[in-house]
């Protein structure tokens, strides 16, 4: 009887859902200027997995996404990573009160010191994307499941006649 179960409508809507989450997350990253190298932005991939009776929408991201999303507690970050970020972003140093412009190394140290004192604030870009897309897709997913169940029931009824 399991061969009668066809969840194509659910799979199609979940595929659309995954694309919408990916696109909204990427839009949020661009909107909030979190694209320095573009590595995170371009790494976002999705897939919909059906394992028996469960469905799962998975996103694959660069490992550091969680630090951007959730922020960090105070710590002294590696200066070489900050230097790379300064170069890629690019961060343009501003003169201090006396008109001195810090070198990239000095700027990296200043940024690192601030992170060491305050940590970093999370962006919540993925969280916000999920909230918006979940609200948009909740009814569509339920409707697709309903259509697939109607088709299943029709096959049972036709098969028992």
| pLDDT tens, the chain, 161 aa long | 455 578 999 999 999 999 999 999 999 999 999 988 999 999 999 999 998 778 999 999 999 999 999 999 999 999 999 999 999 988 999 998 999 999 999 999 999 999 999 999 999 999 999 999 999 999 999 999 999 999 988 888 887 66
Assess whether 31 and 66 both reside in one domain: yes
pLDDT of 1: 42
Which residues pair with residue 50 across a beta bridge?
55
| Overall domain count for the chain | 2
Assess whether 101 and 48 both reside in one domain: no
Q: What is the rounded distance in angstroms from the CA atom of residue 114 to the CA atom of residue 77?
A: 10
Assess whether 139 and 94 both reside in one domain: no
Assess whether 142 and 111 both reside in one domain: no
pTM: 0.85
pLDDT of 127: 98
Assess whether 62 and 7 both reside in one domain: yes
- CA within 13 Å, CB half, 12: 10
Q: What is the rounded distance in angstroms from the CA atom of residue 115 to the CA atom of residue 99?
A: 24
Contact 74, 119 (CB under 8 A): yes
pLDDT of 21: 98
- Which residues, 6+ apart, have CB-to-CB distance to 55 below 8 Å? 7, 10, 11, 14, 48, 49
pLDDT of 53: 79
Q: For 129-148, how does the pLDDT look when each residue is reduced to its tens digit (9 = 90+)? A: 999 999 999 999 999 999 99
Residue range of the domain that includes 90? 74-118
């Amino acid at each position: 009887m399991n061969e009668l179960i066809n969840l194509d409508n659910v799979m199609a809507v979940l595929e659309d859902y995954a694309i919408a989450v990916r696109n909204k997350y990427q839009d949020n990253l661009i909107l909030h200027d979190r694209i320095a190298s573009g590595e995170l932005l371009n790494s976002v991939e999705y897939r919909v997995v059906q394992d028996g009776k469960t469905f799962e929408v998975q996103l694959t991201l660069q490992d550091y996404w969680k630090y951007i999303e959730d922020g960090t507690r105070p710590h002294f970050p590696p200066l070489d990573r900050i230097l790379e970020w300064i170069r890629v972003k690019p961060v343009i140093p501003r003169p201090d009160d006396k008109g001195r412009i810090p070198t990239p190394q000095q700027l990296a140290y200043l940024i690192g010191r601030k992170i060491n004192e305050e940590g970093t604030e999370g962006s919540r870009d993925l969280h916000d994307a999920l909230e918006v897309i979940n609200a948009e897709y909740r009814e569509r997913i339920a409707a697709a499941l309903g259509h697939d169940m109607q088709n299943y029931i029709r096959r049972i009824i036709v098969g028992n006649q």
